[in-house]
Amino acid sequence: MDNAQTGGTAIGGPGLAGHVLTLPFYKELEGARSILVAGAGGGFDIFCGLPLYFGLRQAGRRVHLANLSFSHLRGSSARELAPGLFEVAAGLRGASVWGGGAYFPELYLARWLASREGSGTIYGFGRSSRLSRASLGTTMPRGGRPAAHCSSTP
């Protein structure tokens, strides 16, 4: 079925809103230029946000990925941008990269993205961190705000 038959914008087209099947959530994002998609259940939850990440990027938005992390971020070689907020880049190297264990979903995802897009950065929130809007502003341009969150837990 084409746009003429549905009377709206194609799903996956340049716009986010306008199609009869578009969720109201996308209308809220229509004016956003920079969006944070964050997994909030810990572990691999950020992976459930990847379809949203790729769809928003295809629609021309700047999208950041973040995750509430069960990894020992402070013990890794990830750079701490603000108290409890870490930048996990695909190129992390050295003995301390794993933080004492091989469980590091943010690094796996950063490396996977880098292998496909040329670069990959995931922001990790420590479990005990108290993030403020100021901390989130570290990863987003002035005026940006967290606009989406993804969790596979009920």
pLDDT in tens, 99-109: 555 788 899 89
pLDDT of residue 98: 54
Asked whether residue 40 is assigned to any structural domain, the reply reads: yes
pLDDT of residue 121: 93
Asked whether residue 7 is assigned to any structural domain, the reply reads: no
Phi, psi dihedral angles at 8 (to 5 degrees) = -145, -175
Phi, psi dihedral angles at 82 (to 5 degrees) = -155, 165
Number of domains observed in the structure of the chain = 1
Asked whether residue 60 is assigned to any structural domain, the reply reads: yes
- Would you say 149 and 66 are in contact if contact means Cβ atoms under 8 Å apart? no
Asked whether residue 93 is assigned to any structural domain, the reply reads: yes
pLDDT of residue 20: 65
Asked whether residue 5 is assigned to any structural domain, the reply reads: no
* Type of residue found at 85: L
pLDDT of residue 49: 92
> How far apart (Å, rounded) are the C-alpha atoms in residues 102 and 124?
16
pLDDT of residue 9: 35
Asked whether residue 1 is assigned to any structural domain, the reply reads: no
pLDDT of residue 97: 56
pLDDT of residue 41: 78
Asked whether residue 43 is assigned to any structural domain, the reply reads: yes
Q: What is the pTM of this model?
A: 0.70
Structural domain for 70, as ranges: 31-150
pLDDT of residue 142: 45
Which portions of the chain are predicted below pLDDT 70?
Answer: 1-20, 93-101, 127-154
Asked whether residue 8 is assigned to any structural domain, the reply reads: no
* 97, 112, 43, 28 alpha-carbon torsion, rounded to 10°: 130
